[in-house]
Amino acid sequence: MTSITVSRRNLLATGAGLLMIALGEWWPAQAQDAKAAYASMAPLDQYLMGRNAEIALARSAAPEAISRDADVLVLGRHGYETAVKGKNGFVCLVERGWMGPFNGDGSANFWNPKMRGPVCFNPPAARSILPMTYKRTEMVLAGQSQAQIMDGMKTFVKELPPLEPGAMSYMMSKEQYLNDSEHHNWIAHLMFYTPLMDGGVWGADLPNSPVMLNPQFRGAPEPIDVFMVPAGCWSDGTPDPVRLN
């Protein structure tokens, strides 16, 4: 498999995983196109999937040894619902574009109905991060605007308990759709959730460092940082070599 070169100036993120990669001069023009194309929410049916297809996609976020015993959620007309009850404390689901940033270039795909971000949360993340997914989705399905959802999250995060140590998730699905470029599945990666901090503590975004700071939350308004590390392979074990500049 051909290596993907990921440079710092070309890397932006859209969410929990939902990420965008800009190759060369692709990003500036595409960001403007995305803002125009996805200015508001599309009809709900465009965000929904067949139940079995969504279960399979959600499970593809992590290696089968993890996802086979995880809870699996699917998105319905009234929010996420449990399709499969697991036993290992992990929770797998497919995030939509509204889990991306509210502001900045990464927000262009907030309403993109093609976005599919399979993610498997470990038990601490399922307790600490998943409630944010539930809440954003609840407000989306209630017909609120992007600005209203952001205001609602500012209030909601004040009610949340502190982030649990060790919270992390897997985003290793070869079938993920994280941007509208030809490399729409970006890279297989792991995500680690921390309180807001200087990315330098992790050596994030430094030359030849594999650690990247995702602008998904960053205190706007969720008081969480997300550090991403390439996994080097997809959840099915096939290689996904990445060369970081």
pLDDT tens across 71-108, in order? 999 999 999 999 999 999 999 999 999 999 998 877 89
Confidence of residue 12 (pLDDT cuts 50, 70, 90): very low
What type of residue is 77? R
Q: pLDDT value at position 10?
A: 42
Q: pLDDT value at position 7?
A: 44
Whether 85 contacts 12, CB under 8 Å: no
- Residue 230's nearest CA partner among 218, 219, 214, 216 is 214
Whether 30 contacts 180, CB under 8 Å: yes
d(CA 137, CA 139): 5
What type of residue is 93? L
- Residue 90's nearest CA partner among 195, 193, 167, 185 is 167
pLDDT digits (tens, 9 = 90+) for 24-66: 334 455 555 666 789 999 999 999 999 999 999 999 999 999 9
- Report the range of poorest mean pLDDT among 23-37, 115-129, 182-196: 23-37
- Report the range of poorest mean pLDDT among 35-39, 65-69, 143-147: 35-39
Confidence of residue 238 (pLDDT cuts 50, 70, 90): very high
- Report the range of poorest mean pLDDT among 22-31, 118-127, 235-244: 22-31
d(CA 81, CA 83): 6
Q: pLDDT value at position 9?
A: 36
Q: pLDDT value at position 216?
A: 82
User: Apex CA 212: angle with CA 223 and CA 155, to 5°?
Assistant: 15
Kind of pairing between the strands at 71-76 and 91-95 = parallel
The token duo for 104 is 């900045």
pLDDT digits (tens, 9 = 90+) for 195-216: 999 999 999 999 999 999 988 8
d(CA 17, CA 189): 9
d(CA 226, CA 224): 7
d(CA 43, CA 24): 33
Whether 70 contacts 90, CB under 8 Å: yes
The token duo for 143 is 């017909």
Average pLDDT, the chain: 87
Q: How many C-beta neighbours within 10 Å does residue 215 have?
A: 21
Q: Is residue 109 scored above 60 in pLDDT?
A: yes
Run of H or E residues at 76 = strand 71-76
Confidence of residue 168 (pLDDT cuts 50, 70, 90): very high
- Residue 107's nearest CA partner among 20, 175, 170 is 20
- What pTM does this model have? 0.88
Q: pLDDT value at position 138?
A: 98
Q: pLDDT value at position 127?
A: 97
Q: Is residue 17 scored above 70 in pLDDT?
A: no
The token duo for 6 is 């990921």
The token duo for 89 is 């404390």
- Report the range of poorest mean pLDDT among 22-31, 122-131, 184-193: 22-31
Q: How many C-beta neighbours within 10 Å does residue 81 have?
A: 11
